[in-house]
Amino acid sequence: MIIFVSHLASAEPDLLRVDRVVGKNISILGMARSGLALAKTLKELGAKVFVSDLKSENNLKSETKELKRLKIDFETGGHTQKLLQEKDYMVLSPGVPSDIPIIKEAEFLGIPVFSEIEVAYWLCPAEIVAITGSNGKTTTTTLVGEIFKKAGKETSVAGNIGVAFSGVLNQISNTGIVVLEVSSFQLEKIQEFKPKVSAILNLSPDHLDRYPNLESYIQAKFRIFENQDKSDFAVLNYDDSILRKKASEVKAPVLFFSTQRELAEGGYIKDKNLMVKLGGIEKRIIDVSQIGIKGPHNLSNAVCASLMATALGVKKETIAEVLKE
């Protein structure tokens, strides 16, 4: 079994873990957007890649055509022992359940199994902002991405929002930022994934067809904070009682946001204005009536996005400009 010792926390952003890829035999489960993007990235970096999908080749014509063009080996119509033979590790695409027989067999054999966002993290030179939750992920991720773009920051928006994380690695430098929408599925198989700022927007019974109970689902979501430390930020919705109670379990400094009460620190509504207070300094971002996206859920998303952007140094005027659109 390979045990990886990370140097990312102490290394310069341009010292990436390509040593985990070059010359390695890697299997990828799932031939959809994330699996295909990762296969291409790993092949370009010198890995020997094998991709497997349950669907028939007839239903994966464009994907298999691309893999053939890239000269990447693959199988369709089921997962066979080829996924396990002489493999250094296995990577799961987001839609692949982590408890299927071939994965259990890999783990029994001591083959490490990772999610696509974990492997992409090893190869990402930029800071990461990651957002999850039961509802509002796409809206908040889009807002945060637009705010950083407006601020003139080199920005890539990826994850569950349309482009795979591994698909933007060649578009971003160590001065940029990657804004990710992540799901509980993607967080199940992380090991070192460590965003600079992470947020859970809310929690509600969801995907209980995949999880045995609500607590298992919550635990999967909270893995977004697992590797953060005092140099990072964890953003939580104060109005969600579960998140408020579990905040004490997070190692990183916690920043709350709320639409229902004024907070001593964080993001909140005061006299019909969206406010952010950090380090005792209160900033009025925008009059709530001027926010372009309407509705109580979107107001909560806007407060969260404003708080995350402020924590990373974006000016209030820039945030307001995006929120008005």
Q: Which of 95, 178, 93 is CA-nearest to residue 144? A: 178
- Strand pairing of 273-278 and 266-270? antiparallel
Domains of the chain listed by start with CATH number: 18-119 (3.40.50.720), 126-324 (3.40.1190.10)
Rounded Cα–Cα distance for residues 195 and 229 (Å): 10
Judge whether 28 and 35 are in contact, CB under 8 Å. yes
3-state helix, strand, coil in the chain (%, to 5): 35, 20, 40
Rounded Cα–Cα distance for residues 67 and 22 (Å): 19
Take residue 211 and report the two structure tokens written for it: 């999880």
One digit per residue, the tens of pLDDT, for the chain of length 325 reads 333 333 333 334 344 799 999 999 999 999 999 999 999 999 999 999 999 999 999 999 999 999 999 999 999 999 999 999 999 999 999 889 888 999 999 999 999 999 999 999 999 999 999 999 999 999 999 999 999 999 999 999 999 888 999 999 999 999 999 999 999 989 999 999 999 999 999 998 765 667 878 888 899 999 999 999 999 999 999 999 999 999 999 999 999 999 999 999 999 999 999 999 999 999 999 999 999 999 999 999 999 999 999 999 999 999 999 999 9
Rounded Cα–Cα distance for residues 182 and 163 (Å): 12
Rounded Cα–Cα distance for residues 200 and 222 (Å): 8
pLDDT at residue number 206: 63
Backbone angles phi, psi at 307, to 5 degrees: -65, -45
Rounded Cα–Cα distance for residues 207 and 94 (Å): 13
Take residue 96 and report the two structure tokens written for it: 């692949």
Give pTM, 2 decimals: 0.91
Q: Which of 62, 64, 22 is CA-nearest to residue 42? A: 22
CA of residue 267 relative to chain centroid, distance: 22
CA of residue 301 relative to chain centroid, distance: 17
pLDDT at residue number 5: 34
pLDDT at residue number 9: 33
pLDDT at residue number 13: 39
Backbone angles phi, psi at 223, to 5 degrees: -65, -15
Take residue 95 and report the two structure tokens written for it: 């839609």
- Strand pairing of 197-200 and 155-159? unpaired
Judge whether 176 and 156 are in contact, CB under 8 Å. yes
pLDDT at residue number 98: 87
pLDDT at residue number 95: 82
pLDDT at residue number 210: 73
Q: Which of 322, 40, 293 is CA-nearest to residue 179? A: 322
Rounded Cα–Cα distance for residues 214 and 223 (Å): 15
Q: Which of 167, 187, 181 is CA-nearest to residue 39? A: 167
